């Protein structure tokens, strides 16, 4: 069936229409004429795959990755990088108009041109096959080398790819001086891995002297454990955090709440410009690292609490600034209500999911004015876009 692609949806899929019903087409770009096959049909939409590209877009590039058509790790390998940034900026702008219906400033998108931006990868294994899951499947695509990660990580992949591994997490520090490997399964080269990795964990047993690595972000440094959250883009994270810090510099707040604080990265990053910071995160590994990061950076104005944000948020008063960096699910309804009652002068919302950001901003907008939103392409070659949003009390 021959169709013309009109635009991209929020997930980077091409959009066309058949019998007035929307059709989402993977690996298709605006302006292209493609021969498609319907692979899934729902009441309100259809999904299709490309059988043949009849007319190719000028924005289409040949993917460098040999696993591009099968691996579920990337969505936009076929799109020119400058057009990818344009797509993400436009997506933010259109969603703001759709859900907030306000003239809100969308600052220029920030990005880095380096391909090997990821400081972490998680690979899955079965029957001595190690790789990534195929799109929409639990089938494992063997991966010998990932183009999104650095050479240090690919070296580890090369060492373990023939072992009988169920799952492996590999992390490096942003400066590539530290390596962490956490394996579930059987490996044969413990000694060789110990010569490469600073941290080696096999089946939850620590085989190295250290259990975490140290990674820098600009002028701060952080302990990072296997189960702890840490931003994956080693080139752009400092720019993201600088955006937060520049706002804090202007405010110089007394009391700050750092919600979903992870390993304390943002709180510590802005600590030189605040009198008191309280961080909350439910992940025990995050808080253990956060407390070590206090000592590592000689901060004496931060304390961290291990609990769910919604369990603690009501206890605070007289907060000048609230920083939120929630998971993709965003803020729960209870937390949003308490944030409105707290009436902080400023909220800085760091979001990794544009849809939940729109939902939360629409709710918070009853008590806060949205100053601006700045997008960051923290996840090149995927449809994801990170945003920093600054809100001021009405």
Give a yes or no: residue 127 inside a domain. Answer: yes
Mark whether 108 and 127 lie in a shared domain. Answer: no
Q: Which of 18, 120, 15 is nearest to 378 (CA)?
A: 120
Give a yes or no: residue 299 inside a domain. Answer: yes
With a pLDDT cut of 70, the percent of the chain lying above it is 100
Q: 108: which DSSP letter?
A: P
Mark whether 49 and 126 lie in a shared domain. Answer: no
Q: What is the CATH number of the domain that holds 36?
A: 2.40.50.140
Q: What is the CATH number of the domain that holds 244?
A: 3.40.50.150
Mark whether 338 and 206 lie in a shared domain. Answer: no
Write out pLDDT tens, residues 57-114: 999 999 999 888 788 788 899 999 999 999 999 999 999 999 998 889 999 999 998 8
Give a yes or no: residue 37 inside a domain. Answer: yes
Mark whether 307 and 211 lie in a shared domain. Answer: no
Report the number of distinct structural domains present in the chain: 3
What pLDDT sits at residue 145? 93
What pLDDT sits at residue 60? 97
Range of the domain at 181: 120-217
Give a yes or no: residue 351 inside a domain. Answer: yes
Mark whether 130 and 264 lie in a shared domain. Answer: no
Write out pLDDT tens, residues 259-299: 999 999 999 999 999 999 999 999 999 999 999 999 999 99
Indicate the residue among 45, 60, 75 that finishes a domain: 60
How far from 119 is each of 168, 182, 360, CA to CA, in Å?
14, 14, 29
Q: Which of 385, 87, 106, 131 is nearest to 233 (CA)?
A: 385
Mark whether 267 and 377 lie in a shared domain. Answer: yes
Mark whether 262 and 356 lie in a shared domain. Answer: yes
Mark whether 379 and 250 lie in a shared domain. Answer: yes
Q: What is the CATH number of the domain that holds 129?
A: 2.40.50.1070
Mark whether 96 and 154 lie in a shared domain. Answer: no
187-191, 201-205, 363-367: range with lowest mean pLDDT: 187-191
How far from 334 is each of 248, 282, 339, 364, CA to CA, in Å?
26, 16, 9, 12
Task: Report the distance separating Cα 354 and Cα 147, nearest Å.
Answer: 25
Give a yes or no: residue 75 inside a domain. Answer: no
Mark whether 133 and 104 lie in a shared domain. Answer: no
Give a yes or no: residue 53 inside a domain. Answer: yes
Please give the mean pLDDT across all residues of the chain: 95
Could you tell me if 123 and 130 are in contact, meaning their C-beta atoms sit under 8 angstroms apart? yes
Q: Report DSSP letters for 37-106, one per residue.
A: EEEEE-SSEEEEEEEEEEE--TTB---S-TTTTTBSS-S-TTB-HHHHHHHHHHHHHHHHHHHT-S--EE
Mark whether 334 and 208 lie in a shared domain. Answer: no
Give a yes or no: residue 74 inside a domain. Answer: no
Mark whether 254 and 383 lie in a shared domain. Answer: yes
What pLDDT sits at residue 188? 87
What pLDDT sits at residue 157? 95
Q: Which of 333, 330, 264, 324 is nearest to 292 (CA)?
A: 264
Give CA torsion, residues 125, 126, 129, 133, to 10 deg. Answer: -60
Q: Pick left, alpha or beta for residue 31 (phi over 0 → left; psi -120 to 50 → alpha; otherwise beta).
A: left
Give a yes or no: residue 76 inside a domain. Answer: no
What band does 354 get if pLDDT is binned at 50, 70 and 90?
A: very high
SS3 state of residue 388: strand
Encoding tokens for residue 327? 């998971």
Encoding tokens for residue 63? 């993917």
């Amino acid at each position: 069936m021959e169709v013309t692609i009109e635009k991209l949806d929020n997930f980077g899929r091409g959009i066309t229409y058949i019998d007035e019903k929307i059709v989402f087409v993977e690996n298709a770009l605006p302006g292209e004429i493609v021969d498609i096959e319907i692979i899934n049909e729902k009441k309100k939409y259809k999904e299709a795959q490309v059988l043949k590209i009849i007319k190719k877009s000028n924005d289409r590039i040949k993917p460098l990755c040999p696993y591009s058509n099968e691996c579920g790790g990337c969505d936009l390998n076929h799109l020119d990088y400058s057009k990818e940034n344009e797509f993400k900026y436009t997506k933010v702008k259109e969603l703001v108009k759709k859900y907030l219906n306000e003239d809100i400033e969308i600052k220029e998108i920030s990005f880095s041109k380096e391909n090997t931006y990821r400081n972490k990868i998680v690979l899955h294994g079965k029957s001595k096959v190690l790789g990534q899951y195929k799109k929409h499947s639990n089938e494992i695509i063997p991966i010998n080398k990932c183009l999104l990660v650095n050479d240090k990580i690919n070296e580890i992949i090369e060492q373990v790819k023939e072992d009988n591994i169920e799952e492996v997490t590999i992390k490096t520090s942003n400066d590539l001086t530290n390596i962490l490997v956490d394996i579930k399964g059987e490996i044969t080269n413990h000694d060789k891995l110990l010569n490469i990795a600073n941290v080696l964990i096999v089946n939850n047993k620590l085989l190295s002297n250290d259990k975490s690595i140290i990674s820098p972000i600009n002028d701060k440094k952080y302990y990072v454990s296997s189960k702890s959250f840490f931003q994956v883009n080693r080139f752009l994270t400092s720019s993201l955090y600088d955006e937060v810090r520049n706002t804090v510099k202007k405010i110089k707040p007394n009391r700050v709440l750092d919600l979903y604080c992870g390993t304390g990265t943002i709180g510590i990053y802005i600590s030189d410009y605040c009198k008191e910071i309280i961080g909350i995160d439910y992940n025990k590994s995050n808080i253990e690292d956060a407390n070590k990061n206090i000592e590592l950076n000689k901060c004496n104005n931060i304390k961290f609490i291990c609990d769910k944000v919604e369990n603690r948020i009501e206890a605070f008063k007289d907060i000048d600034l609230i920083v939120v960096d929630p998971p993709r699910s965003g803020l729960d309804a209870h937390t949003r209500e308490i944030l409105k009652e707290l009436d902080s002068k400023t909220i800085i919302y760091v979001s990794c999911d544009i849809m939940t950001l729109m939902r939360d901003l629409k709710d918070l907008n009853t008590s806060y004015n949205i100053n601006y939103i700045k997008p960051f392409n923290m996840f090149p070659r995927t449809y994801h876009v990170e945003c920093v949003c600054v809100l001021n009390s009405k």
